[in-house]
Amino acid sequence: AGALYVVATPIGNLEDLSPRAGRLLGEVDLVAAEDTRHTARLLRHLGVAAPMLSLHEHNEAARVERLDACLAAGESVALVSDAGTPLISDPGFVLVRALRERGRRIVPVPGPCALVAALSAAGLPTDRFVFQGFLPAKGGSRRGRLEGLAERDETLVFYESPHRIRDTLADLAAVLGERRVVLARELTKTFETFLEGSAEALLARLAEDPDQARGEFVVMVAGAPPREAGAAAAVEGDALLAALLAE
């Protein structure tokens, strides 16, 4: 039986496509792509002409049988999204889960991923982080999500679009207060920028230079500061007392 290759593609700079990814895109029998017109440009750039099939959030479940049949027939399939690693805030999870349940071979072909690229250069702690994808579009749900994260001490990572970057910064300022925020914009592209400061300072920065609000963003926020030593000790003391009393 064939394999499904989950192939990461560039997030801006075509040189970031790995040689292995390029070779596989030329060798597979079928490329399942989030947007076939978008992927056609990449394939043209590589000088390959693989047959393509669209696979996006609205037809993903319906594609499972067809792709499973390809694999059963010994064909190999590459799954790609418009940019970066499939399944990471992109289609593919439904397909990969279904094919795994059927015992098919699924092979990751790693490469660009905006959240990893952003973290690797931001200077915020990376030993533990919480990736939250896109925040909800509606203000109330967005602030609710942030409230739920307010106590987390890991670095918080979000994806954001230019339409909502200001609203998101305003909500970060309102819900999480004074914290170090790093905005990674247009990674690997000509206008790649890292801006850092409090959410409020970054909002002011975007207001004075609207070009900084264009493009694609990864928003990273320092985790909650450690609770005051005194408060933590008091909590531990209470827990100890409770344990002793229970004995």
Which string of x and - marks every residue 4-23 that binds ligand SAM (by CB under 6 A)? -------xx-----------
User: Which residues, 103 to 162, sit near ligand SAM by CB under 6 A?
Assistant: 113-115, 159-161
Extended beta strands in the chain, E state: 3-7, 30-33, 52-54, 77-80, 105-109, 129-134, 155-160, 181-185, 193-197, 217-221
The stretch among 20-28, 40-48, 61-69, 211-219 that binds ligand SAM (CB under 6 A) is 211-219
When binding is defined by CB under 6 A, the residue of 17, 63, 79, 81 that contacts ligand SAM is 81
- In contact, 4 and 79? CB cutoff 8 Å: yes
Spatial strand order in the sheet of 77-80 = 52-54, 30-33, 77-80, 3-7, 105-109
Which secondary-structure segment (H or E) carries 172? helix 165-176
Q: Which two tokens stand for residue 215?
A: 């493009």
Please report how close the Cβ of residue 10 comes to ligand SAM at its closest, in angstroms: 9
Alpha helices (runs of H) in 16-86, residue ranges in sequence order: 19-27, 36-46, 60-72
Pick the closer one to ligand SAM by CB: 11 or 213: 11
The residues with which 31 forms a beta bridge, in sequence order, are 52, 78
Which string of x and - marks every residue 164-203 that binds ligand SAM (by CB under 6 A)? --------------------xxxxxx--------------
Coil, helix or strand for 113? coil
Is residue 34 involved in binding ligand SAM (CB under 6 A)?
no
Residue pointed to by tokens 């749900």: 141
Give the total of residues touching ligand SAM (CB under 6 A): 24
Please report how close the Cβ of residue 205 comes to ligand SAM at its closest, in angstroms: 17
When binding is defined by CB under 6 A, the residue of 36, 89, 126, 193 that contacts ligand SAM is 89
Q: Which residues of the chain form contacts with ligand SAM (CB under 6 A)?
A: 11-12, 81, 83-85, 88-90, 113-115, 159-161, 184-189, 216-218
